[in-house]
Amino acid sequence: MKLFFKLLSLIVAFSISNSNAQSTLKIGEVNSYKAQPAFLEPYKKGMDLAVEEINSLGGVNGRRLELVIRDDNANPGDAVRAAEELLSREGVEVLAGTFLSNIGLAMADFAKQKKVFFLAGEPLTDKIVWQNGNHYTFRLRASTYMQVAMLVPEAVKLKKKRWALIYPNYEYGQSAVNTFKQLLKAAQPDVEFVTEQAPALGKIEAGAVIQALGDSKPEAIFNVLFGSDLTKFVREGNTRGLFEGKEVVSLLTGEPEYLDALKDETPNGWIVTGYPWSSIDTPAHKAFIIAYEKRFNDYPRQGSVVGYSIIKAIAEGAKKAKSTDAEKMISAFKGLSFESPFGKITFRSEDQQSTMGAFVGKIKNENGRGVMVDYKYMDGARFQPTNEEVKRLRPAD
């Protein structure tokens, strides 16, 4: 009889444990938190806010969301090992995240091998939805191609012939510069690219780079640096007068993550993509600002919007799919629309890229801090290639 009751208690305990597991939807998130804290600390806050909001309303399909996070140490191999551990030990049902483009590509390949749904949040490489695109991978942020395409019309208006190029020497930087050259040359055939400087990510020797750029005597500069590389580049460029009399078009520099670091060294007049958080007055963004500031006693950065939106997208996809089964999630995400702080965003069926846009404007040094001015929101749907072009770029699933 004692054995009977012992077995019965084990069965009950197992049933309760299994029931609790089924009541939680685990999202496995892998990212470069230690290597890129300026972006990813706000990103984590954005995710947390979205999870709290969704759970307060009953979760998704009656299940509470739970984030299980791992750091990838800015290393593709570590990212894949972390993802494997999340699937095998933690029992996550979908994968999300990544910041650096090379890591995003490694995770996309892992998702394909394991046949698991993966939503890439931040990696901007075009390959993740085109040349290396696969059935299991979707991407949230406006891609390198999309953001460069938003900047090129502004570059053309400058009517400058001699351009210098500066970018981090890895997938994202290479992709950005190749797209810029292609699109600018098509719009302005007489343009010349007088030098390219490509320092290793996080290892810029700013003095040598500034000297090489100045020696090439450009009329304008296209910059793709970010993070500490950008700060060192701007500081040395200001000291040596590199930017005087030259136009600068700069990818991502208008994001508060990078303007905050530049502080009173922020140059004036650079044409940038970014996030002018303090002056966007749409109802959706105002609601996001209020909730974010109340929860964290801080203002949002670009990462905050991406983190918040990635959770909202996964929740909406799982709700539509009524499941987290990979094939059902994929079907649900093709054509899926959801509401974000930037308004409605849709995932295209053709390449599984979202229509999230970006703000294009200029940066200004205002009272010792960098802000974006004269900006406008660019709907990402306007800056994507046609279906026919996507078919040529992307392998068949």
Report the pLDDT value the prediction gives residue 281, as an integer from 0 to 100.
93
Do the domains 145-277+358-383 and 2-142+281-357 match in fold? yes
Q: The tokens 């801090």 sit on which residue? A: 369
CATH number of 145-277+358-383: 3.40.50.2300
Residues 55-94, buried b or exposed e (16+ Cβ, 10 A)?
Answer: beeebbeebebbbebbbbbbbbebbbbbbeebbeeeebbb
Report the pLDDT value the prediction gives residue 116, as an integer from 0 to 100.
98
Q: Superfamily for 2-142+281-357?
A: Response regulator (3.40.50.2300)
Report the pLDDT value the prediction gives residue 396, as an integer from 0 to 100.
75
Residue type, 255: E
Report the pLDDT value the prediction gives residue 9, as an integer from 0 to 100.
46
Q: Are strands 94-97 and 118-120 parallel, antiparallel or unpaired?
A: parallel
The predicted-structure confidence for 276-332, as pLDDT tens digits, reads as follows: 999 999 999 999 999 999 999 999 999 999 999 999 999 999 999 999 999 999 999
The predicted-structure confidence for 278-288, as pLDDT tens digits, reads as follows: 999 999 999 99
Mean pLDDT by 10 residues, the chain (397 residues): 46 40 87 94 98 97 97 97 97 96 96 98 93 96 95 97 96 94 97 96 94 97 96 96 97 96 96 96 96 97 97 98 97 97 96 97 94 96 90 83
CA–CA separation, 124 and 121 (whole Å): 9
- Asked if 26 and 93 count as a contact pair (C-beta separation under 8 A), the reply is yes
Query: Bridge-partner residues for 365, per DSSP?
Result: 370
Report the pLDDT value the prediction gives residue 43, as an integer from 0 to 100.
97
Q: Where are the domains of the chain?
A: 2-142+281-357, 145-277+358-383
CA–CA separation, 372 and 349 (whole Å): 33
- Asked if 359 and 375 count as a contact pair (C-beta separation under 8 A), the reply is yes
Report the pLDDT value the prediction gives residue 23, as an integer from 0 to 100.
87
- Asked if 170 and 101 count as a contact pair (C-beta separation under 8 A), the reply is yes
CA–CA separation, 202 and 207 (whole Å): 15
What pTM, to 2 d.p., does this model score? 0.89
